[in-house]
Amino acid sequence: MSVTTVDDRARYRANPSVLTALKNPRMLTREVLAGLVVGLALIPEAIAFSVIAGVDPKVGLFSSFIMAVSIAFLGGRPAMVTAATGAVALVIAPVAPMYGLDYFIATVILAGIFQVILGVVGVAKLMRFIPRSVMVGFVNALAIFVFSSQFPQLIDVPWLVYPLVALGILVMIVMPKITKIVPAPLVSVVIVTGVVLTFAITVPTVGDQGELPRSLPELFIPNVPLTWETFTIIAPFALGVAVVGLLESLLTAKLVDEITDTHSRKSREAWAQGVSNVLSGIFGGMGGCAVIGQTMINVKASGARTRISTFCAGLFLFLLVVVFGDFVGTIPMAALVAVMIMVAIGAFDWHSIRPSTLKRMPKSETFVMVATVVLVLITHNLAVGVVGGVLVASVLFVRRVAHFVTVSRSVSGSVARYVVDGELFFASSNDLTTLFSYSDDPSRVVIDLSGSHVWDASTVAALDAIETKYQALGKTVEIVGMNESSQRMRGRLTGGFE
């Protein structure tokens, strides 16, 4: 049973809290304006992800609104933004064209249920096994992803788009040097939009991306038979959504922890993501997870730190598309592209590719980081990249540790003494049997394991094989120096491999 101490509660207490922000007009203004910027940035992506998933744009918009608002209350990571995402859209994309919208929504709801179960059983604790090199690769891949996702808005467009994007970037570079009270991305969007409207410039706008909804989301109970056949159809897709969504959300939460120097409740975040997906499905949404780009706008570019900003992002998204849809439709895509480009530049870990860093960093760490980035870019799937990166890191770690085992031999009279140093597990113990001079040793052999530890059945089997070889030659073997844990392991397993 886990016990939460006073120090644990203090460690996970939100700082600053919502109450603190409500009492501080300057901080409250920053949180609200940050939410407005994020709400604006969510609109084109939600529409784009709806297209990827093969559903109406309003499905992605409603999903983003519902998930952002619900996670603001339920989530374990303040200031992190949850909405419709490309990773989830790619996983669930085959469902709607093959089986229809009802099965699509049922898949979203089941994915949320899976996430709640995974969150309750503590899957978030597995985050501790993700190395820093994989985290750096994850961040760099996301930055490249965010940057490259802007290309469609920069190709085959009127030439005036390019100076407008440059203007937006310039404003975001200069604005923080003047004041940080108002988020620079918001000022950039307002100025670029003002220029376009004032001079009647014809460029692609948010309205060109798809029709915006005009009404509140309604309850949507999927009309699917509650049978085992239905479950077998949607379960694989739902599990994929659950795993990808949790992985991206928990990695984003860890990233925000580092940026804000605070702690988050990962298990709470995991089941809260599930509840948000269930709510999204019930109201006809496509589901999603934490969105790294908008979260970076919220936390890094705008300086938000509380749940207020996340709630406002969802609230403003709803107001912007339902109440002020006509105005939002006039916002040039160039303004939002500029924001996303600056987010990508700010999110990339430039320190990781500096020549001085590469010289100091072990080559294996750099290889793991690059492998993670490459896998993400090839598969367009963050989960595949991260899992692949962890596997590569694990293999390299096992290979490195396996070479730390040494065996030294000394002979005194009729006794041969072997001293084994290092961790004994499958990678190191497989060669252990080859390090002994069976025929040349005298009649008595002592194997000293005081400088090592037996970790698995492979090692016990190797020790048994060594004893068997010596016994076949009529020689006696004595294994000494084993610690208590190793003795228990060998006592339980020895002799069980014949």
Q: Domain with 420 in it: what CATH number?
A: 3.30.750.24
| 37: pLDDT strictly greater than 50 | yes
Amino acid 2: pLDDT: 45
Tens of pLDDT, residues 127-148? 777 888 888 888 788 788 778 8
State how many domains the chain has.
Answer: 2
Q: What is the pTM of this model?
A: 0.71
294 and 422 housed in the same domain? no
Tens of pLDDT, residues 310-335? 999 999 999 888 888 888 788 898 98
Residue 258 lies in a domain: yes
| CA gap 16, 9 in Å, rounded | 14
Percent of the chain at pLDDT > 70 equals 96
184 and 278 housed in the same domain? yes
Q: Interhelix angle for 457-472 vs 484-493, to 10°?
A: 70
Q: Which residue is listed with tokens 């410039």?
A: 201
433 and 307 housed in the same domain? no
Amino acid 403: pLDDT: 67
90 and 237 housed in the same domain? yes
| 459: pLDDT strictly greater than 80 | yes
Contacts 24+ apart (CB under 8 A), 401-410: 401/425, 401/427, 401/428, 402/427, 402/428, 403/428, 404/428, 405/429, 405/432, 405/452, 407/432, 407/435, 407/436, 409/436, 409/437
Tens of pLDDT, residues 99-120? 999 999 999 999 999 999 999 9
Nearest to 331 by CA among 186, 215, 216, 159: 186
Residue 254 lies in a domain: yes
Amino acid 496: pLDDT: 55
Residue 233 lies in a domain: yes
Residue 284 lies in a domain: yes
319 and 194 housed in the same domain? yes
Q: What is the CA radius of gyration of the chain?
A: 28
Nearest to 274 by CA among 46, 121, 388: 121
Residue 440 lies in a domain: yes
Amino acid 10: pLDDT: 62
Residue 132 lies in a domain: yes
Q: How confident is the model at residue 182 (pLDDT cuts 50, 70, 90)?
A: confident
